[in-house]
Amino acid sequence: MTMKALLSKAPGPPESLVLEEIPAPVAGEGQLVIDVKAASVNFPDSLMIQDLYQFKPPRPFAPGGEVGGIVKAVGAGVTRFKVGDRVLAVPGHGGFAEEVAVPERGNVFAIPDAMTFEDASSLLLTYGTSQYALKQRANLKPGETLLVLGASGGVGVAAIELGKAMGATVIAGVSSPDKAAFAEAAGADKTLVYPRELDKEKQKALSEAFKQAGGGGIDVVYDAVGGDYAEPALRAMNWEGRFLVIGFPAGIPKIPLNLTLLKNCQIVGVFWGAFTQRDPKGHAANVAELFALYEQGKIKPRISARYPLARGGEAIRELMDRKASGKIVLVLD
Ligand SMILES: NC(=O)c1ccc[n+]([C@@H]2O[C@H](COP(=O)([O-])OP(=O)(O)OC[C@H]3O[C@@H](n4cnc5c(N)ncnc54)[C@H](OP(=O)(O)O)[C@@H]3O)[C@@H](O)[C@H]2O)c1
């Protein structure tokens, strides 16, 4: 049996991906094979195909970190799933293909009846990360101010929705008025458009603007951008604030540590993927909570563009060029 997959055969840009017919995966012991119905695009896809990500799969490989689909086959020893189950999974890569094999003990869950495959493919990496960050790492409390940097992106918009669901006042930092409107529609209380380039003066002004937007200061910063934006956000923090380190599309910032002393605040690292492996029970409880929030209509992946599998490279390009808002999804028939 064969299947179509969008392959990275050499490190390169999204345009280097090629659609090929390759042998379909077989469910080995403890594995299930998923018939992929939808696969979403995430920032790590853009890094992985260029060999710029912390994890480098052997080539050829298909990018695609998360999928929604139907269990097509189960291997020996699989007890949690049967053929025909509707599931979501986070294989890390391999999702831009008609089928993907995942370990039963990995990041795979049966989805509620009401959840579409597109939403299923757009849930865990973004909402899972933001939920773990805000709940377990920041202990965000009702009434606190939450500043989200990169608020119109995948994890950012999930942080807006979850921050609101947790009772925070949410300030969305974005790079254009269009993205501000998008963040507002997702529930942000305030939006702040920051410049695309920052010098020292602009950093100072941005820090003041963050403070003002927070009514004097910020309790929790969710930094999905890094670069020159991190320090102004840290300088705007309240006493005992928590600064969440999520990602670095704008570069890895260097922070003067004296700021943490002056603010009596914490800089908190967030590594959601490792958390899901180290604490599978805690992760499963978080997923159950996300499913409940989805069924109550409190969270809803904001899918702004859909592509067929063959055009997956264009989908990654859209994300890399900062043209995307929310999620982009590859839809397989
Ligand atoms: N820590 C974890 O466990 C974890 C889990 C998942 C993802 N992540 C990381 O989170 C980050 C976002 O991932 P995502 O999938 O949500 O990506 P995404 O949808 O592409 O969002 C990235 C956001 O960053 C902004 N951005 C991109 N380049 C920028 C630049 N040069 N300067 C300022 N802002 C920039 C974009 O907004 P604008 O265009 O408005 O600037 C966009 O909103 C990535 O670094 C990813 O690796 C971390």
Same-domain status, 69 and 147: no
For the segment 230-243, the average pLDDT, to the nearest whole number, is: 98
Report field, pTM of the whole predicted structure over 0.75? yes
State which ligand 1 atom lies nearest to the alpha carbon of 152.
Answer: 43
- Residue 322 CA: which ligand 1 atom is closest? 39
Question: How many independent structural domains does the chain possess?
Answer: 2
Question: Which contiguous run of DSSP H or E holds residue 221?
Answer: strand 218-223
Could you tell me if residue 41 is inside a domain? yes
Same domain (yes/no): 136, 40: no
**What is the chain's mean pLDDT, rounded?**
97
Domain limits for position 269: 128-273
Q: 142 with 54, same domain?
A: no
Is residue 281 assigned to a domain? no
List the alpha helices (DSSP H) in 99-176: 117-120, 129-131, 154-165
C-alpha of residue 285 to centroid of ligand 1, in Å:
26
Centroid of ligand 1 to alpha carbon of 211 (angstroms) = 22
Confidence of residue 54 (pLDDT cuts 50, 70, 90): confident
Burial code (b: 16+ CB inside 10 Å, e: under 16) for 265-294 equals: bebbebbbbebbeeeeeebeebbeebbebb
Q: Which of 273, 290, 321 is the last residue of a domain?
A: 273
Tokens of 32: 């299930």
What whole-number distance in Å separates Cα of residue 260 and Cα of residue 312? 42
In the chain, pLDDT over 70 holds for what percent of residues? 100
Distance, CA 248 to ligand 1 centroid (Å)? Answer: 7
The answer to whether residues 100 and 14 belong to one domain is yes
Domain-embedded: residue 283: no
Ligand 1, atom 39: closest residue by C-alpha: 322
Mean pLDDT of all residues in 286-313 = 96
Q: Is the pLDDT assigned to residue 176 strictly greater than 90?
A: yes
Half-sphere exposure of 302 (CA within 13 A, CB side): 22
The closest residue, in CA terms, to atom 13 on ligand 1 is 43
Atom 28 (ligand 1) nearest CA: 249
Ligand 1, atom 16, lies closest to the CA of: 154
How many angstroms does the Cα of residue 157 sit away from the middle of ligand 1?
10
- CB distance 100 to 70 below 8 Å: no
Cα 224 to ligand 1 centroid, rounded to whole Å: 5
Ligand 1 centre to CA of 178 (Å) is 17
Nearest CA to ligand 1 atom 32: 250
Which positions ≥6 away from 194 have C-beta within 8 Å?
173, 174, 175, 206, 209, 229
Q: How far is the CA of 281 from the centre of ligand 1 (A)?
A: 27
Residue 282 lies in a domain: no
* CA dist., res. 231 & res. 247, Å (int): 14
Query: Which are the contacts of 78, defined by CB distance < 8 A and separation ≥ 6?
Result: 27, 30, 31, 32, 104
Same domain, 83 and 99: yes
For residue 179, the ligand 1 atom closest to its alpha carbon is 40
Closest to 330 (Cα-Cα) out of 111, 113, 25, 66: 66
Kind and range of the H or E element at 212? helix 200-213
Residue 99 confidence (pLDDT): 98
Residue 26: band (very low, low, confident or very high) from pLDDT cuts 50, 70, 90: very high
Q: Is residue 293 one of the residues assigned to a domain?
A: no
165 and 47 housed in the same domain: no
* Ligand 1 centroid distance, CA of 230 (Å): 13
Same domain, 58 and 183: no
Which residue from 42, 124, 130, 148 has its CB within 8 A of the most atoms of ligand 1, so it is best to mutate? 42
Nearest CA among 202, 115, 187 for reference residue 152: 187
Judgement on whether residues 137 and 77 belong to the same structural domain of the protein: no
Stretch (H or E) spanning 102? strand 99-103
Q: What's the pLDDT score for residue 152?
A: 95
pLDDT of 241 higher than 90: yes
Q: Single out the residue of 147, 250, 234 nearest to residue 197, CA to CA.
A: 250
Q: Within 6 Å (CB) of ligand 1, which residues are found?
A: 42-44, 125, 129, 150, 152-156, 174-175, 179, 224-225, 227, 246-250, 270-273, 319, 322, 324
Contact in structure between 187 and 164 (CB atoms under 8 Å): yes
Element containing residue 103 per DSSP (H, E): strand 99-103
Distance between Cα 116 and ligand 1 center (Å): 24
> Are 237 and 155 contained in the same domain?
yes
Q: What is the CATH number of the domain that holds 113?
A: 3.90.180.10
Map tokens 């403890």 to a residue. 30
